[in-house]
């Protein structure tokens, strides 16, 4: 297992390098620059700024400077937030994003999983159809509709919860964004678990277990759930990445100082180093999550572990 994990990590290095090169080229190919403004800078000021940030060097030189900084673990200074380094900015945003993402995934797993199992056990009843319909709604109604609606109902009309991150504290301010972010995932997971469980439940060995008189709960607990969760596990990696990277809409609606907002702004500001820093962070995250999923397969499915 350890060897497997190590090999996978090593094989990720070329991928990461490629990501850095492509991101560097793309962000530099975009028109504009970190100091562009309709209040155009006078030539002296512009060249002083370019010199201060080494933007007057050739692109290969700048790339080399960036890579050697990276090798020392230095992501460089932010070009837009001139008092901060990229590492500081990412370091401030990551805990917030992780918390939001982890809670949403947890909620999605609990609610989505439970709903999926319940629906699968009561297949083709009104309950099942209700869950399926709700899930379809959850998937198709976009978060930029749901989130403002939540704010309107729970913050403006009922005044139960804060409308924003900085409008409350503790768990309170997490409730609406976590639910908004989890909703599409709840729906997706419910459908996934339902489908997969129905398939497993109709397989021969479950029928045999039933024939032996095992109670439904025991069948689920010892025989059906594990194989039924396999598709869910393979979905979790990309889903976690999607929740972390795709939180930008929720973050902007609730004013959450997370990574998604920072990423969006860095692109609009042409904050070259910050864009690259976040791309690298996301790339590492996705690689790690995929590794975790592969390891989780092994835990759930011995056939993979033994190979």
Q: What angle do CA 227, 290, 224 make, to 5 degrees?
A: 5
39 in helix, strand or coil?
A: coil
Which of residues 175 and 198 has its CB atom nearest to another protein in the complex? 175
Q: Cβ of residue 238: shortest distance to another protein, in angstroms?
A: 18
Residue 194 Cβ vs another protein, minimum distance, rounded to whole Å: 17
Query: Which parts of 228-257 interact with another protein (CB under 8 A)?
Result: 229, 252-253, 255-257
Q: Name the one residue in this structure whose structure tokens are 């309950």.
A: 127
Instruction: Give 34 or 132: the residue with its C-beta nearer to another protein.
Output: 34
Residue 33 interacts with another protein (CB under 8 A): yes or no: yes
Task: List own/partner pairs for 130-137 with CB under 8 A and 24 or more apart.
Answer: 131/190, 131/194, 132/191, 132/194, 134/187, 134/190, 135/186, 135/187, 135/188, 135/190, 135/191, 136/187, 137/187
CA separation, residue 201 to residues 115, 220, 222, 300 (Å): 16, 9, 12, 18
Residue of 101, 109, 113, 122 whose CA lies nearest to 251 = 101
Q: Which of residues 72-91 bind another protein (CB under 8 A)?
A: 80-84, 89
Binder among 6, 65, 221, 284 for another protein (CB under 8 A): 221
7 lines the binding site for another protein (CB under 8 A)? no
Does residue 1 touch another protein according to CB under 8 A? no
Judged by CB under 8 A, the stretch of 19-27, 61-69, 95-103, 124-132 that binds another protein is: 95-103
Compute the least distance from the CB of residue 1 to another protein, in Å: 16
Binder among 19, 27, 86, 93 for another protein (CB under 8 A): 93
In the complex, minimum distance from the CB of residue 103 to another protein, in angstroms, rounded to a whole number: 5
Does position 197 interact with another protein (CB under 8 A)? The reply is no
Q: Which residue, 19 or 147, has its beta carbon nearer to another protein?
A: 147
Closest CA to 251 of 111, 135, 104, 86: 104
- Alpha-carbon distances, residue 126 vs 115, 132, 138 (angstroms): 13, 10, 18
Task: Please identify, using beta-carbon distances, which residue of 10 and 171 lies nearer to another protein.
Answer: 171
Asked if 116 interacts with another protein (CB under 8 A), we say no
């Amino acid at each position: 297992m350890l060897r497997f994990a190590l090999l996978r990590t090593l094989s990720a290095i070329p991928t990461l390098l490629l990501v850095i090169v492509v991101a560097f080229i793309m962000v530099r190919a975009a028109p504009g620059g970190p100091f562009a403004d309709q209040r155009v800078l006078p030539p002296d000021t512009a060249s002083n700024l370019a010199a201060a940030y080494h933007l007057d060097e050739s692109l290969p030189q700048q790339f080399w400077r960036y890579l050697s900084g990276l090798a020392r673990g230095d992501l460089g200074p932010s070009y837009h937030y001139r008092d901060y380094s990229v590492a500081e900015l990412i370091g401030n945003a990551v805990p917030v994003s992780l918390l939001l993402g982890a809670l949403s995934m947890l909620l999605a797993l609990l609610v989505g999983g439970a709903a999926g199992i319940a629906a699968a056990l009561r297949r083709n009843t009104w309950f099942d159809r209700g869950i399926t319909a709700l899930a379809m709604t959850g998937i198709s109604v976009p978060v930029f509709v749901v989130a403002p609606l939540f704010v309107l109902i729970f913050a403006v009309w009922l005044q139960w919860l804060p409308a924003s991150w900085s409008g409350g504290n503790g768990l309170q301010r997490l409730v609406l964004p976590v639910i908004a972010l989890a909703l599409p995932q709840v729906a997706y997971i419910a459908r996934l678990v339902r489908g997969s469980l129905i398939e497993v439940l109709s397989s021969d060995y479950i029928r045999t277990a039933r024939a032996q008189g095992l109670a439904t709960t025991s069948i689920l607990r010892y025989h059906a759930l594990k194989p039924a969760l396999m598709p869910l596990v393979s979905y979790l990696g990309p889903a976690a990445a999607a929740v972390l990277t795709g939180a930008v809409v929720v973050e902007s609606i609730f004013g959450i100082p997370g990574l998604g907002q920072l990423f969006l702004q860095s692109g609009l500001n042409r904050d070259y180093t910050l864009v690259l820093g976040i791309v690298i962070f996301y790339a590492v995250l996705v690689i790690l999550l995929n590794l975790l999923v592969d390891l989780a397969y092994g835990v759930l499915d011995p056939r993979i572990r033994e190979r």
